[in-house]
Structure 1
Amino acid sequence: MTETDTVLRPGAAAGGAKGRHPALWLVLVLLLLLFAPTLWWLWERWTLSVWNNGHGILIAGLVAWLVWGELKKCRELPTDSSALGFLILIPALAAHMLDTGIDTKLLSAAAMFAALPGLSLLFLGVERTKRILFPLLLLFLTLPIPLVFTEKLHLVLRQITTEGVSFLLPLLGVPVFASGTLLETPNGLLEVADSCSGFSTLYAAITVSLLVAYTTPDPRRKILVLLV
């Protein structure tokens, strides 16, 4: 009896794994259809300009590659599933439904990324989800940040840029007068706009540094990357 149980259990586990794959693909297809307008909105934001979330496409591609690599390493782990995924998936879908009424698209995009760990818990289990959780969370750093949350930071960065340019131009023989975020030169008046503040570069740099730190095995190098 014991030997029979030993033989049947691996088969049963394999059957469960195979049974879940079609369901997983079906759910993914349905979610792609559900979030299709949101994905298109994200694509438009990511490709709008290099000054506006241009790093989004790169990070999304790298996250997909990292998740695939981690899952390949987990092939020997037993098949698992956790109902805890519903605690994440249901609120995420509720947030998406809410956004269909207020139509911000940003809330829907955040809900889409939040749903991914929930799906992972349901179809891949706790251990696999732990392996891919950090890359999935990095997707939130590809979302456009509303100006209302960054307006003050934009202004500070614009002022720093203005001061820096007004210091450098005289060294190059170009007279300049700075007032606020305006630069007055003999050839005309220039304004340091939000796109010139460096915020997008800072946002992308923080995201990339977290990604590099994650892929660095040495803890000391992780700290060094984050500090730099």
Structure 2
Amino acid sequence: MNNTIKAVNYQSIAWIKLIELNLLLAILLTLLWSSYADIVHIWWRSQTFTHGFLVVPIAIYLIWRKRLEIKKITLKTEPLAIPLIALTGLTWLLARLTEVAVVEQFTAVALIPLIFWLTLGTAAARVLTFPLGFLIFAVPMGEALVDPLMQFTAAFTVMLLRLTGLPVFWDGTFFSIPSGDWSVVAACSGIRYLIASLFLGTLYAYINYRTLWRRLLFIILSGIVPIFANGFRAYLIVMIGHLSGMKLAVGVDHLIYGWVFFGVIMFLLSALGNLWMEPPLSATPNNTNLDSELPLTITAEPLKRSAALLVIGLISFAVWPLLDTWLQRPQSAPTDFAFTLPVGQDHWQPRTDAFTDWTPRYLDATLEMRRDFEDQTNTTAAPVGCYFAFYSNVQGELVNSENVMVSQNHPLWRMPSHRTIQVSIAGNDMTVIESRVHSDSQTLLVWNWHWIDGYVTANDYVAKIYQLFAIVTGHAYRQVGVVFYTTITDNKQDAAHQQLQRFANDMLPVINARLHEIP
């Protein structure tokens, strides 16, 4: 009996494939529930990603629009999807272990179109490329762009103010004009405009254009226009405040002006897009009777082969969350890190009192320690302090965007600038993040970096790789945020830099030796 191919009713195989697809998606949703729940939670609490609630309904609608094209395609299980599903699942696991939320959530969403590909086949996946690809907008990502967007908005605003003829004192994201002081904060970075514009622009391009170059051009414009528009919006708000004697556009009303301005920009952008609108395709004759033109029977793949591939596909993504459950079994944090702060080295001696009330923000650290020192050989030299934030990998995470030298809404302290620099400490080159923080009464120069199981880095992505190594080798508790700081006097930042350099040369070898003693 020939069991390799057979002709069956199209509706029958379509229903079988639909059941298979929904079954695999239900299993995926169950196993990766925490990742999807985190995504929805971010949609709920963050105005930047509220559009996420619309993504799935829109994707379902776009898939429904393709139903007649799908009916012309032979649906069959695609084995080429299995290795990609396994690789994506592995990436999800690694991201979850190292707490890289954006990668974890991206891969969790990426598994959905891969399951469509596995179940329905390559031809169907090709037809559904955009509807399934549109799911990427469900992933709450883009926050890494906040800082560069803030810097650009500040620079663009200052440039326009100077072109207007106003004198401006500019310091990072802070600037002053004769009528008052201004700063570009995260809410003014334009990230919300950018993400919303790309979301709407991509959907507009897909629905209104057919040729690829038109779609890509409009999507590119949807990414560029809001960035410059946000800079111009910031300039207008500053000018409104300046011309009104700081009575208008200085509170919540400037956010309202911002969204009205964004609405105008999106209207103008869509009007521009209409200029190269393509004529609609000629209507298909007897479109309503298209179903009758489809074949009543279709060649089906062998049932045993399809079932085997689906089982392998199921295993290729199910194994990773099950492995995660085993690796994330309850752990207990050590009660003693076996770390003692250095009391002095060479001519550096501990101070009896703190020389600053500033402290970096490391959320949910298992243990925090700090000590200030002064140079006994030079009583006029600025004091230097060191701070350590220890993480146990049971609660909290060292590499976190919320762990900053100064929070955006801090009532006293500001951080106008920071940069990554290369320094030579005790004959070894290392990279640190150098920041300048200040209050009304004091300015500090700060160096900070990550120490993870003996590895030192200032790069968050490299730190995540080191965290993974530490977890695999059983050293998950050896994660420390290290901060050195000193005062800047008379705006002499170079002198403060040299003071930190001297302190690090003398003290860091001792500190690193004690960090290595952490169990």
TM superposition score normalised by structure 2 = 0.37
| Residue number among 184, 189, 195 corresponding to 1:197 in the alignment | 189
Q: Which residue in the other structure is 1:225 paired with?
A: 218
- The one-letter amino acid paired with 1:89 is I
Q: Say yes or no: does 1:70 pair with 2:62.
A: no
Q: CA deviation at 1:167?
A: 6.9
Name segments (4+ residues, structure 1) moved above 6 Å: none
**1:48 maps onto 2:48 in alignment:** no
Matched with 1:4 is none
Note if contact 2:69-2:127 (Cα within 8 Å) is conserved in structure 1.
no
| Secondary structure of the structure 2 residue equivalent to 1:145 | coil
CA contact (8 A) 2:17 2:120 kept: no
Residue aligning to 1:106: 102
Which structure shows the bigger proportion of residues in strand conformation? 2
Provide the secondary structure at the position in 2 that maps to 1:47. helix
> Deviation string for 1:95-120 (max 9, x for gaps)?
22223312233222111222122211
Contact 1:176 1:186 in 2 (8 A): yes
The aligned length equals 215
| Pair 1:23 & 2:7 matched | no
The DSSP-based 3-state class of the residue aligned with 2:181 is strand
Alpha-carbon distance in 2 for matches of 1:14, 1:147:
45
Q: In the alignment, what sits opposite 2:127?
A: 131
Q: Over residues 42-99 of structure 1, what are the superposed CA-to-partner deviations in whole Å (9 max), with x where a residue is unaligned?
A: 122223233x223333334322321232235422432322111113211121122223
Kindly indicate whether the alpha-carbon contact (under 8 Å) linking 2:175 and 2:183 is maintained by their aligned counterparts in 1.
yes
AA matched with 1:216: N
C-alpha displacement at 1:157, in angstroms?
2.5
**1:157-168 pair list within 5 angstroms:** 157-161=153-157, 163-164=159-160, 166=161
Residue 143 of structure 1 corresponds to 139
Q: Which residue of 2 aligns with 1:119?
A: 115
**Larger Cα Rg: Structure 1 or Structure 2?**
2
- 1:136 positional shift: 2.0
Q: Which moved more, 1:82-91 or 1:140-149?
A: 140-149
* Distance change >3 Å, CA 162–CA 108, structure 1 → 2: same
* Equivalent position of 1:155 in the other structure: 151
**3-state SS of paired residue (1:189):** strand
Query: What residue number does 1:179 align with?
Result: 170
Structure 1 residue 9 displacement after superposition: 0.8
Contact 1:158–1:196 at 8 Å: present in 2 too?
no
- Give the equivalent residue in structure 1 for 2:92: 96
Q: 5, 8, 11: which is aligned to 1:10? A: 8
How far the C-alpha of 1:210 sits from its partner, in A, is: 1.9
1: CA distance, partners of 2:50 / 2:123: 33
**Native 8 Å contact 1:158 1:194 kept in 2:** no
Q: 1:75/1:149 Cα in 2 relative to 1: closer, same or farther (>3 Å)? A: same
Q: Deviations over 1:163-200 (max 9, x none)?
A: 55x479x89xxx88552433546885332112202122
Contact between 1:161 and 1:197, CA under 8 Å: does it hold in 2?
no
**Residues 84, 118 of structure 1: 8 Å contact kept:** no
How far, CA to CA, are the matches of 2:157 and 2:76 in structure 1?
Answer: 52
- Give, in whole Å, the separation in 1 of the partners of 2:54 and 2:83: 30
Query: How far apart in 2 are the matches of 1:177 and 1:150?
Result: 23
Change (3 A) 1:105 1:34: farther
**Whole-angstrom distance in 1 between the partners of 2:114 and 2:218:** 30
Return the offset for 1:121: 1.5
Decide whether aligned partners of structure 1 residues 198 and 124 sit closer, same or farther in structure 2, where only a CA change above 3 A counts.
Answer: same
- Point out the structure with the larger helix share: 1
C-alpha contact (below 8 Å) 1:176/1:183 kept by paired residues: no
> Mean alpha-carbon deviation: is it higher for 89-98 or for 20-29?
20-29
The question of whether the paired residues in 2 share the 8 Å contact of 1:88 and 1:114 is answered with no
Q: Tell me the distance in 2 between the aligned counterparts of 1:178 and 1:61.
A: 48
Q: Report if the CA contact (8 A) 2:75-2:124 is conserved.
A: no
Of 30, 35, 39, the residue aligned with 2:32 is 35
The runs of 5 or more residues in structure 1 that have no matched partner are: 1-7
Between 148-157 and 77-86, report the one with greater CA deviation.
148-157
CA distance in 1, matches of 2:167, 2:44: 35
Question: CA distance change for structure 1 residues 63 and 19 in 2, over 3 Å: closer, same or farther?
Answer: closer
Q: Distance in 1 between matches of 2:37 and 2:28?
A: 14
Contact persistence 2:59–2:131 (CA under 8 A): yes
CA separation of 1:117/1:88 partners in 2, compared to 1, >3 Å: closer, same or farther?
Answer: farther
